[in-house]
Amino acid sequence: MHKTLYIILFSLIVTNCSFKPVVKHHGVPFLEKKQSTLIVNKANKNDIIKILGNPSTKSKFDNDIWIYIERKQTQSKLKNLGRMKIFKNDVLVLELDNYGILKKKEFYNQNDMENIKIVEATTEAGFKKNSFIYDFMSSMRQKINDPLGVRAKKRKEISQR
């Protein structure tokens, strides 16, 4: 009786397990393959949207910059307790001119991004607590929070009691 119960329980556990890893996909699938069909100075916005779809991010400065992302994650081995591990991380940066023609194309894969150095310098505040700007901004904040001076009057009345 116990053996058959153990066999049934074991078979339920085994049949519910999958040996194929679960892959979570985010962004444009097959980005590396699709971006190779885009030709600089020939492709336009319509071609790009037809091939890749709408961009993940758009930026507008002097020229339009469109950013496409492809990211694939899977669960890591049992020793890492099943945390998600990135195994594909691609980024495509497209720069378009004012007429919508592709002027520049840059493709970054996971290895390229590991080689990018990030500056760790920080920007310090340009004012200190005893400066004119700090005093001015503090008084403006006080006037915004209490425009009629009602709180100051109440504090004065409470302190006189």
DSSP 3-state assignment of 130? Answer: coil
What is the CATH architecture assignment of 21-120? 2-Layer Sandwich (3.30)
Q: Distance between CA 125 and CA 131 in Å, rounded?
A: 12
Distances (CA, A) of 85 to 56, 68, 82, 92, 113: 21, 20, 9, 21, 16
Of 65, 68, 66, 111, the residue nearest 86 (C-alpha): 111
Write down the pLDDT at residue 26: 85
Res 15: pLDDT: 63
Q: Could you tell me the sign of the dihedral formed by the alpha carbons of 99, 100, 106, 110, in that order?
A: positive
Q: Give the model's pLDDT for residue 146.
A: 73
Q: In the prediction, which pLDDT does 125 show?
A: 63
**Three-state DSSP state, 11:** helix
pLDDT at 77: 64
pLDDT per position as a tens digit, 59-78: 876 668 999 999 888 876 66
State how far the Cα of 35 lies from the Cα of 64, in Å rounded to an integer.
17
Task: Give the domain ranges of the chain.
Answer: 21-120
Positions in the chain whose pLDDT score sits under 50: none
Distance in angstroms (rounded) separating the CA atoms of residues 43 and 39: 6
Q: Record the pTM.
A: 0.59
